[in-house]
Amino acid sequence: GAVVSQHPSWVICKSGTSVKIECRSLDFQATTMFWYRQFPKQSLMLMATSNEGSKATYEQGVEKDKFLINHASLTLSTLTVTSAHPEDSSFYICSARRLRGAASSYNEQFFGPGTRLTVL
């Protein structure tokens, strides 16, 4: 159990277009999902925390108008990169945390496989 999927796994787009990335928890409900960005051979940088039914909390330095996050249900969060530019090219990874009170005594995060975004 505890599988998180991301779609698409990779995307290439033209500069100025918008790209939507989906993150789904397949076999559990997630009150909270996290979006990370990773540059080659670097660590994961948390971009924002997404809570179901409320506005996302963005980390310092992350443009909320550029990286739109929607957490419409307990199994789906989306990240939309608006007006993408080549510097937005990166590996985007989401994670999902189980609903409180689930079997695990600690609300563990489960990571998706990542989405490779290339902006031309």
Partner 1 sequence: AQSVAQPEDQVNVAEGNPLTVKCTYSVSGNPYLFWYVQYPNRGLQFLLKYITGDNLVKGSYGFEAEFNKSQTSFHLKKPSALVSDSALYFCAVRGQGKGNTGKLIFGQGTTLQVKP
Residues contacting residue 47 through CB under 8 Å, at least 6 positions apart: 35, 36, 37, 58, 59, 62, 67, 79
Residues 51 to 90 in contact with partner 1, rule: CB under 8 A: none
- Which member of 35, 84, 112, 119 binds partner 1 (CB under 8 A)? 112
Q: Report the distance separating Cα 46 and Cα 34, nearest Å.
A: 7
By C-alpha distance, which of 74, 84, 59, 81 is closest to 27? 74
Q: Report the distance separating Cα 1 and Cα 102, nearest Å.
A: 13
- Which member of 13, 46, 74, 76 binds partner 1 (CB under 8 A)? 46
CB of 82 to partner 1, least distance (A): 24
- Which member of 15, 29, 42, 83 binds partner 1 (CB under 8 A)? 42
Token pair in block for residue 100: 């409180």
Site string for partner 1, 89-108 (x = CB under 8 A): --x-x-x-x-------xxxx
Rule CB under 8 A: which residues touch partner 1? Answer: 4, 6, 32, 34, 41-44, 46, 49, 91, 93, 95, 97, 105-114, 116
